Amino acid sequence: MRRLWHTKAVGHTGTLDPFASGLLVLLLGPATRLARFVSGQAKTYQAGMRLGEQTDSDDRTGTVVARWDGQEWPDQAQVEEAMAQWRGKISQVPPAYSAKRVKGERSYRLAREGRAVPLMPAEVEVHSLTLETYAPPDVGFRCTVSSGTYIRALARDIGVALQTGAHLSHLRRTEVGHLSVTDAVPFDALREETATRHPIDVLDGYPRMELTEGEMEEVAHGRPLKHHGEHDEGTWAVLARGGAVIAMALYGPEATLQPKVVLTGAVL
């Protein structure tokens, strides 16, 4: 992307595991400053897991460390019951092979060296988790989760609940916020001008506030602004006339708008 667009300023909003496919949102130029606002949005995945085998990476790329020796697979009702335990706000232990830092070192590096990886659980939210296909030992499911949720760990934990063990067999990211993989641009079309979109497209989950030219100048310089009106407190996308995004700002007590990120000329 840096070569194609002749810029060093290129960022992404969330990596995919090497065996996974799907939507990757890239930000160019000043729009890279929006990364934290995009990566924090919910993500939707189409996924599959295989019961009966647990791997050290919690996915198909790892080494099998345990095999179920049972005779009869759980029925569909049991699978759905196990999945129901992992909906809503949950405490999730990240996979050992992850980018989480443990005392300054990446977890996956410690795991590859055979060293213990004492990872702390994190609170994440599974907004939806739906069983789509079941042909034992393979389970197909769809989920929408908060940022920071590991689908590999979700498959692992469902396998534990079923007492069969499980690992993630395939993964495809289909949505980030309201952006869909069906609207994504394939790599060989990235040279076309139509490959970019307006930055407002990645900020659909945030309320929008349009400013006058005088107010816009204050915010563009990063200055707090008294903006009177009936607005909810929180993070707002601040727009110039015509819909151009000029900043992300925090609207707080006493009707004060405090710019957090200021950008001009940004593209997605």
The tens digit of pLDDT for each residue in 148-189 reads 899 999 999 999 999 999 999 999 999 998 899 998 888 888
Domain end among 116, 147, 176: 176
Residue 255 in this model has a pLDDT that exceeds 80:
no
Q: How far is CA 190 from CA 173, 196, 237, in A?
A: 19, 8, 27
Examine the domain organization and report whether 92 and 113 are in the same domain: yes
Residue 40 in this model has a pLDDT that exceeds 90:
no
Active site residues: 17
Residue 228 in this model has a pLDDT that exceeds 80:
no
Asked if residues 251 and 234 have their Cβ atoms less than 8 Å apart, the reply is yes
Q: Is residue 189 assigned to a domain?
A: no
Examine the domain organization and report whether 105 and 161 are in the same domain: yes
Q: Which domain holds residue 73?
A: 43-176
Asked if residues 54 and 166 have their Cβ atoms less than 8 Å apart, the reply is yes
* Number of domains present in the structure of the chain: 2
Examine the domain organization and report whether 12 and 84 are in the same domain: no
Domain end among 176, 210, 238: 176
The CATH number assigned to the domain holding 159 equals 3.30.2350.10
Q: How far is CA 3 from the centre of its chain?
A: 26
Give the Cα separation of 141 and 217 in Å (integer).
48
The CATH number assigned to the domain holding 240 equals 2.30.130.10
Residue 247 in this model has a pLDDT that exceeds 70:
yes
Report, as an integer, the average pLDDT of 244-258: 82
